[in-house]
Amino acid sequence: MTAGLLFASVGVILFALGVAGVLLLEHLLRRILAFNIMGSGTFLVLVGLAQRNGIADPVPQAMVLTGIVVAVAATALALALARRLYVLTGKLELSQDDEA
């Protein structure tokens, strides 16, 4: 197994963990962190798979940079919303009954 493939495999595992976290956890901060883990997993796959013949491909590097910017923005928005929810309800989780 090449180093690139190893990175990619770890990335996939991180992604799966992250998705599970976002979907299953209750505490909002944990869910936001899980989202970041999910994102990092994807970035690892992007960078890892593209390392062919030992030479790093610059395009995925650029993509990951863009991806990180997007992830930061999303995290900031999520944190702001979570804080607002805490101010309004005193809770940091989404209750089941507000769905309807």
Partner 1 sequence: MMVWLILLPLLWASLAFMLGPSRGVWPAIAGLVAQLWLAFALAAEIVGSGAAMHAVGGWGAPLGIDLVADGLSAAMLLLTQCIALPLAVYAHAYFKRDDPARNYFWPLVGFLLAGLNALFLSADLFNIYVTLELLGLAAVGLVAAGGGAQQIAAALRYLFATLVGSGAYLLGVALIYGTYGTVSTVTLVSLIGADAPDLVWIAGGLMVLGLMLKTALFPFHFWLPPAHGGAPAPVSALLSAVVVKASFYLILRLWVGPFSSLTVVASLVVWFPALLGTLAVFWGSYQAIRAERLKMLIAYSTVAQLGYLFLIFPLLASAGALQAGIMQVFAHGLAKAAMFAAAGTLIKATGQEMVAGLAGVAERLPVTLFAFGLAGITLMGLPPSAGFLAKWQLIELALSQQQWVIAFVVLVGGLLAAVYVFSVLRQAFLLAPADSVVTPVSRTLEWTAFVLAAASVLLGLRGVELMQLVGVT
What residues make contact with partner 1 under the rule CB under 8 A?
8, 11-12, 15, 18-19, 22-23, 28, 31, 35, 38-39, 41-42, 45-46, 48-50, 52, 57, 59-60, 63, 66-67, 70, 73-74, 77-78, 81-82, 84-85, 88-89, 94-95, 98-100
Report, in Å, the least distance between residue 82 CB and partner 1. 7
| Crossing angle for the helix pair 28-49 and 58-89, to the nearest 10 degrees | 180
**Number of Cβ atoms within 10 Å of the Cβ of 14:** 19
Comparison of 6 and 77: residue with beta carbon closer to partner 1 = 77
The backbone torsions φ and ψ at residue 71, rounded to the nearest 5 degrees and listed phi first, read -65, -40
Euclidean distance between CA atoms 94 and 12, whole angstroms:
28
